[in-house]
Structure 1
Amino acid sequence: MKSWTSFDKFVAFSVVLLLLYSIALLVNAHLAGENIAHWVWGRHQNQFSWYSRPLFLIPACYYAYRRKLWLIVGFMALLLCSLFWFAAPENVPEHVSGYLEWEKQLFFSNNSIVPLISLLVAVVLFLIGLFSAIWYRSYWLGLVLINIGTLAKIVISVALGNEFGTSAVIPSLSSLAIINFVAFMAWRLFNAKQES
């Protein structure tokens, strides 16, 4: 279980390449005189990043199952970097800009850092719980955690984000549907192997 296959090495090489690409994007933006925080925020408005980011949990969970800590860390770094992979959209839909403005006000423009610290702690605890569940072979617990975590994000967004909170619903539910489908297929494959 601990050995590295050729595929693992290929995946690790790909992760490193994507991280280098991310660093190159940041360096290029800096050399172009961009304010990095504004540059990242502008690119974060591209909804491709909203849809793609949660999908990094799938390979990270696979490597939690394989107990490859560095590949889990690598995929979580890619999840973070994917915030700025896609170009800033020329026209940002009002519901997207409104939702992101609500996020900015809540987490970055607030006089208190409590909301931001609470978010970071909640995300870290969620990820530790998810990967630990899979690492220690509690697959159903991992699946329950990812479903509860996503649904909690939707509820908080809708409850606190006013009319813009619904912007997070479709990206979150579509990602959750893909993750649950992959989990279902993995379960069927596992059962088929057990029966043969």
Structure 2
Amino acid sequence: MMLKKYDKPLAVLFGFLTLVFLVIAFTNKDFLDWAFARHHNQLSWYIRPLFILPFCYFAYKRSLAGISVTIFCLLTSMFWFPEPNTVSNQVKDFLQFEVDYLTGEWGIGKILITSIVPISLTALAVAFWKRNVMIGLTVIVFIALGKMGWSVIFAGESGKSIMIPAISGLMICVGLVYWGIKRSQKKSNITH
């Protein structure tokens, strides 16, 4: 009950912190270079898809603060791990592509393609907010396939470097979301 009282203010606070992070990342080259140097550590690639789990949980529980905190953590997780000593050329090339994409010119095409990210996250939140698990799971699959497709289509061969983290993250997320919902439904049936 206490957390419900602070749900909206916390959501606004972490929404603001997310915007501050994005502004700093897009306007401070030193910060972006520092963050992407750490993002070369592929542990960040493996944990990032797992943020779908708390995102779905908080949407299911209708917690704006939980969703907002999860998005902030997802974005900042790129630099949670130390810079690796060795990095494959494929990973280097892909991350250089991502930096060039983010810092390059933004035309209407790039804006439309990139807008798929917030649109798909909104669709995911709405699906779980409305307790529609099948649509939610479908959106999770769409997000993973979209990221993999975008990576290969736009980054070429280096885009294949995300396949194993993305596929393993997708399988874990779909499995745990499905399991969690079924478990929650069993508990609900027992109490009724």
Please point out which of 81, 90, 94 is paired with 2:89. 94
- Residue identity opposite 1:149 in structure 2: I
How far apart are the structure 2 equivalents of 1:40 and 1:121? 22
Alignment of 1:116-155 (within 5 A): 116-155=110-149
Which position in structure 2 is the counterpart of 1:187?
Answer: 181
Q: Are the counterparts in 2 of residues 150 and 172 from structure 1 also a CA contact under 8 Å?
A: yes
How far apart are the structure 2 equivalents of 1:112 and 1:188? 43
Alignment of 1:27-106 (within 5 A): 35-106=30-101
Structure 1 residue 171, shift from structure 2 partner: 0.7
1:61–1:152: structure 2 CA closer, same or farther, 3 Å change rule? same
Please point out which of 152, 156, 159 is paired with 1:158. 152
Question: Which structure 2 segments of 5+ residues have no match?
Answer: none
TM-score of the superposition, structure 2-length normalised? 0.78
Structure 1 residue 54, shift from structure 2 partner: 1.6
- Residue identity opposite 1:102 in structure 2: F
TM-score of the superposition, structure 1-length normalised? 0.77
Structure 1 residue 194, shift from structure 2 partner: 5.1
How far apart are the structure 2 equivalents of 1:37 and 1:116? 20
SS at the partner of 2:83?
coil
1:89–1:107: structure 2 CA closer, same or farther, 3 Å change rule? same
Structure 1 residue 187, shift from structure 2 partner: 3.4
How far apart are the structure 2 equivalents of 1:53 and 1:85? 11
How far apart are the structure 1 equivalents of 2:82 and 2:112? 29
Higher RCO (Cα < 8 Å, 6 or more apart): 2
- Size of the aligned set, in residue pairs, is 173
1:177–1:141: structure 2 CA closer, same or farther, 3 Å change rule? same
Instruction: Using the TM superposition, name which of 157-166 and 59-68 deviates more.
Output: 157-166
Q: Are the counterparts in 1 of residues 140 and 174 from structure 2 also a CA contact under 8 Å?
A: no
How far apart are the structure 1 equivalents of 2:127 and 2:182? 19
- Residue identity opposite 1:47 in structure 2: Q
